[in-house]
Amino acid sequence: MNRTRTQVGIVGAGPAGLTLAHLLHRDGIDSVVVEDKSREYVEARVRAGVIEQGIVDLLTEAGAGERLVREGLVHHGIELQFDGERHRIPLSELAGGRAIVIYGQTELVKDLIRLRLDAGQPLHFEAADVSVHDLETERPLVRYRYEGSDEELDCDVIAGCDGFHGICRPSIPAGVLSEFSREYPFGWLGILAAVAPSNDELVYAHHERGFALLSLRSRERSRLYLQCRPDEDLAKWPDDRIWEELQTRLGIPGWRLAEGAILEKGVTGMRSYVCEPMRYGHLFLTGDAAHIVPPTGAKGLNLALHDVEVLADALVEWFRSGTTIGLDQYSDTCLRRVWRAEHFSWWMTRMLHRADDEDSFDLKLQLSQLRYVTTSHAAATSLAENYVGLETV
């Protein structure tokens, strides 16, 4: 058994774990990142693409935003489509000049991995049988197998950054956490396509056949989503059918979606979930390990990085001065923003998706809401400030 001592044991090398490791290293705090998948797998996992201005600023100030600022595409608005017409929400105009940046989560993860490895800091991919122990003590442990050896990491604190299906949250004894959740009767079928985006801004489309989203990853890559069943069988969706459905749902007179080779496709279920508190003893949960939002509104990645910003500040303060104030407030501070994003994502999802059991009353409410947010300055401002990310919550 190899024993290693570190200040912060970080479980999971997704955006949350990697950003936390980077922020801590910048402040002279040691950590070891333990990830159960391979580097190739983590770097290829296509997910989020919309980054709030505040998160861009966080990464830039931490020296992790160089390529993000160079290659990311700044967007100042989005479009909402319903009844066959598009309506622009001028985000920046309504939200004090703030914008969003389009930059793939895959690219951010690649940047953070490179920074970590260039700094010579430990990042263990393909760790097997990861488990966490002695969480209520001042010396919690992470155990795992790595390159054929049994490893034991002796930590001051553990950061559970291992996503929704990780092991950290389930290691908290039964009865400690309160859990809040909602399942949705639909999912998203997402594709990445080798074709220039057909619109300058994202289009969120309400359609009688279900929601569709036009997004992008770069000037040469489109990212598109279709509402589908949560257990949709991808085998029933040959490329032609996907394009035809996207043409129908996103179509407006005089405009056609440009098609190209499909590079990746996948189905994601949708759920809302929060556990409280986001802490147990010396284990702190961050990002998807503690909360999930449905993707409509693009909040998941942003929330994960807001959590680690709060946690990094609290840990730095604790290691420097011994004060536990920041750590004691960690969960409450994060949960305020988490619940705002939970509400916003639930609201956007309900406004734009078609439910199987939806009756004409629900449909009339959706259309009325869409008309309201696209005609009322107050309602559009509310959408805009939530979308670009609230400065204070």
Annotated catalytic residue within 140, 295, 306, 353? 295
d(CA 82, CA 249): 10
Q: Smaller CB distance to ligand FAD: residue 48 or 59?
A: 48
d(CA 201, CA 216): 9
Among 73, 99, 141, 167, interactor with ligand FAD by CB under 6 A: 167
Q: Smaller CB distance to ligand FAD: residue 59 or 127?
A: 127
Instruction: Assess whether 206 carries a catalytic annotation.
Output: no
The binding track of 313-352 with respect to ligand FAD, each residue x by CB under 6 A or -, is ----------------------------------------
163 interacts with ligand FAD by CB under 6 A? yes
Q: Smaller CB distance to ligand FAD: residue 201 or 288?
A: 288
First CA to last CA distance, the chain: 46
259 makes contact, choosing from ligand DHB, ligand FAD, none, with CB < 5 to 8 Å by partner type, with none
Q: Smaller CB distance to ligand FAD: residue 298 or 323?
A: 298
What burial class does residue 360 get, using C-beta atoms within 10 Å of its C-beta: 0-12 exposed, 13-18 middle, 19+ buried? Answer: exposed
The binding track of 37-66 with respect to ligand FAD, each residue x by CB under 6 A or -, is x----x----xxxx----------------
Distances (CA, A) of 12 to 37, 153, 157, 288: 9, 14, 14, 11
CB of 336 to ligand DHB, least distance (A): 22
162 makes contact, choosing from ligand FAD, ligand DHB, none, with CB < 5 to 8 Å by partner type, with ligand FAD
Is 126 in a helix, a strand, or coil? coil
Helices then strands, counting H and E runs in the chain, come out as 11, 21
H or E element in which residue 149 lies: strand 149-154
CA angle 111, 339, 392 (to 5 degrees): 70
The full DSSP string for 215-243 is EESSSS-EEEEEEE-TT--GGG--HHHHH
Instruction: Assess whether 372 carries a catalytic annotation.
Output: no
Phi, psi at 92, each rounded to 5°: -65, -40
Instruction: Assess whether 184 carries a catalytic annotation.
Output: no
Closest residue to ligand FAD in the complex (CB): 14
Annotated catalytic residue within 184, 204, 280, 330? 204
Q: Smaller CB distance to ligand FAD: residue 38 or 321?
A: 38
Instruction: Assess whether 204 carries a catalytic annotation.
Output: yes
Annotated catalytic residue within 75, 206, 207, 291? 75
Instruction: Report whether 53 contacts 100 (CB < 8 A).
Output: yes
The number of residues that bind ligand FAD (CB under 6 A) is 36
> Where does this chain bind ligand DHB (CB under 6 A)?
48-50, 202, 213, 215, 223, 295-298
Q: List the one residue out of 189, 127, 190 whose CA is nearest residue 162.
A: 127
13 makes contact, choosing from ligand FAD, ligand DHB, none, with CB < 5 to 8 Å by partner type, with ligand FAD
d(CA 351, CA 206): 8
34 makes contact, choosing from ligand FAD, ligand DHB, none, with CB < 5 to 8 Å by partner type, with ligand FAD
Instruction: From 28-36, 74-82, 366-374, 380-388, give the range in contact with ligand FAD by CB under 6 A.
Output: 28-36
| Segments in the chain forming alpha helices (H) | 15-26, 39-44, 53-61, 66-71, 91-94, 105-118, 239-250, 300-321, 325-352, 360-375, 377-388
Phi, psi at 54, each rounded to 5°: -60, -35
CA angle 320, 322, 328 (to 5 degrees): 115
CB of 217 to ligand DHB, least distance (A): 7
Instruction: Report whether 142 contacts 153 (CB < 8 A).
Output: yes
Q: Smaller CB distance to ligand FAD: residue 15 or 326?
A: 15
265 makes contact, choosing from ligand DHB, ligand FAD, none, with CB < 5 to 8 Å by partner type, with none
Instruction: Assess whether 197 carries a catalytic annotation.
Output: no
d(CA 91, CA 32): 39
222 interacts with ligand FAD by CB under 6 A? no
35 makes contact, choosing from ligand DHB, ligand FAD, none, with CB < 5 to 8 Å by partner type, with ligand FAD
* Binding site residues, ligand FAD, CB under 6 A: 11-17, 34-37, 42, 47-50, 105, 127, 130, 161-163, 166-167, 188, 190, 268, 287-288, 295, 298-302, 304
Catalytic residues: 75, 204, 295, 299, 387
